[in-house]
Amino acid sequence: MAEAKTLSEAADELEFRQMRELGELMVYRSQINKLADGEWTDKGGFSLGPLKPSLMGEDPRLPKMPEKPTLIDFFKLRFGPSKQHLLQSAALAQRNGLPEKMVLACLLHDISVIAFFRPDHGYWGAQMLEPYVDEEVSWAIRMHQALRFFPDESVGYEYPEAYAKRFGADYRVDPYIQRDYDYARNHRWYMSARQICLNDLYAFDPDVTVAVEDFEDVIGRHFRQPAEGLGNDNTPASHMWRTLRRPANAL
């Protein structure tokens, strides 16, 4: 019981802080937000709580977005500093002489990690991008998640040392990762997904700053920016961009 009370007190405190931050507006967090912070309980009963004005629409705590946001607007106004990983990866792909389509794939390969969900980031990222990029680009982004764990001597790709440090020397991939690797290994676009891994490993330099504007032309030629704005359009992924634009909407 003591634990439940503490959690409930913590929730009240958080609620109060958020209300103060947003005047009288309530900001609610969904379960997946709480789970990411290691918060879980099924104690305390179920209640909708008091009906108070809730945040819907633009979030006053975040930079204001244009009415018709572009991919570059999302880079500038919603992605955090770790977007440098994407930008450096794309710059490396360009230096390595990859085709523009693959430069775009590298530019967007971890879009989910840095802006949306970390778990299963290849799959989420591909889903966000599918309506706007060449099929090969989203396929490669989906599959790079699995390929990252498997070496390919023919192109000099070794199992990342960092993974052994982060996940343990005895880490073994989940069965679905093994399954998707086996599938991708024999696919005609295998090398496109592998290229993402090859231009990914070294794209973590804290002393290098790459601007998204450097890729304005590549984006212009290979990303189908909807005229009405990302999220205002009507594709199977529009809602994901709307969520990114207004991440704390009550519904």
List contacts with Fe ion (CB under 5 A): 110, 200
- Size of the chain in residues: 251
Structural contact between residues 55 and 27, judged by C-beta atoms closer than 8 angstroms: yes
With respect to Fe ion, which residue has the nearer C-beta, 109 or 222? 109
Structural contact between residues 141 and 122, judged by C-beta atoms closer than 8 angstroms: yes
CB of 113 to Fe ion, least distance (A): 6
Burial (CB count <10 Å: 0-12, 13-18, 19+), residue 161: exposed
CB of 116 to Fe ion, least distance (A): 12
CB of 121 to Fe ion, least distance (A): 6
With respect to Fe ion, which residue has the nearer C-beta, 84 or 238? 84
Burial (CB count <10 Å: 0-12, 13-18, 19+), residue 156: exposed
CB of 186 to Fe ion, least distance (A): 21
CB of 16 to Fe ion, least distance (A): 38
With respect to Fe ion, which residue has the nearer C-beta, 193 or 240? 193
Element containing residue 238 per DSSP (H, E): helix 238-245
With respect to Fe ion, which residue has the nearer C-beta, 110 or 180? 110
With respect to Fe ion, which residue has the nearer C-beta, 88 or 238? 88
CB of 182 to Fe ion, least distance (A): 19
CB of 195 to Fe ion, least distance (A): 12
Q: How remote is the C-alpha of 155 from its chain's centroid?
A: 27
CA distances from 120 to 56, 124, 144, 162 (A): 28, 6, 11, 18
Identify which of 113, 170, 116 has the alpha carbon closest to the alpha carbon of residue 144: 113
End-to-end CA distance of the chain: 31
Spatial neighbors of 97 by CB under 8 A, at least 6 apart, are none
What is the 8-class DSSP label of residue 66? Answer: P
With respect to Fe ion, which residue has the nearer C-beta, 200 or 233? 200
With respect to Fe ion, which residue has the nearer C-beta, 59 or 110? 110
